[in-house]
Amino acid sequence: MAFDAPTTIAPINITVYRWAGQWGPFKVKIPCGECALTVDVIKDTLENELKGVPVTLDIREWLSEWWKPLKLFPLRGYHAPIVLVEGAIVCEGEALNRGLLTQAVIDAYAKRAPLKGTHLFGKTNCKHCVRGKGYFAQAGIQFAYHDVVREPAALYEMLARVKPLVGPKTPITVPQIWIDGHYVGGADQLGKALGVSIEPNPERGQNSMTDKPMAVVK
């Protein structure tokens, strides 16, 4: 993935409240299987989808601190396991969906760490992604390719970085391209940035950054 965190970036905080602990005369004696499963899912996700993202994992006992999740805003946590990312609940009362965790962590990470280098987010059956790769090849520019279909983390990172630029209601298409950390847009915008001669084609659709019909190379 494109994760290349600066050494100064603050880690993303993940907190888990599991069914355990003691409060007054009350003590948890029966362990929670879904809590254990949730912790295992988090650790495995950190080693795979989120590898390279600076994260701190804090596992706490729910009964010993039951009032803390109740003070959360806007959503309060009532039932363990409760999983928080940067203080916001992403899962409660059931085993964690690793996709929800991945998306929440990457959303937080993208706000702290600007993208470095040259990247193309795309998919294998996208002809515009092929054009973008071709433009890079013609210009002799090396780039990192991220398949948003095969790599869930790539999809979440692309959306987390593009949505703030184009607005939450704008449909996001592929490819999405950065050069030296600067956002370019789609294949047409890349072609123009590299000085490729293109010819307008009104039959083509629009991508998330074009206010005019896209173009094809003849």
The model's pLDDT over 180-203, given as tens digits with 9 standing for 90+, comes to 999 999 999 999 999 886 666 554
Same domain, 64 and 92: yes
CB 54 within 8 A of CB 11: yes
pLDDT in tens, 129-168: 999 999 999 999 999 999 999 999 999 999 999 999 999 8
Looking up residue 76, the CATH number of its domain turns out to be 3.40.30.10
β-pairing, 119-122 vs 144-147, is parallel
Same domain, 124 and 33: no
Same domain, 31 and 72: yes
Judge whether 165 lies within some domain.
yes
Beta strands in the chain (DSSP E): 12-18, 22-23, 26-27, 55-61, 82-85, 88-92, 119-122, 144-147, 176-179, 182-185, 199-200, 215-216
Judge whether 60 lies within some domain.
yes
Collapsed DSSP state (helix, strand, coil) of residue 146: strand
pTM of this prediction exceeds 0.75: yes
Given a cut of 60, whether residue 217 has pLDDT beyond it is no
Same domain, 173 and 199: yes
Sign of CA dihedral 178, 148, 125, 211: negative
Q: E strand or H helix at 207, and its extent?
A: none
Instruction: Pick the closest to residue 75 from 107, 38, 116, 104 (CA basis).
Output: 104
Collapsed DSSP state (helix, strand, coil) of residue 165: helix
pLDDT in tens, 24-33: 999 999 999 9
Same domain, 24 and 98: yes
Angstrom distances, CA of residue 159 to CA of 16, 107, 176, 183, 218: 26, 9, 9, 13, 31
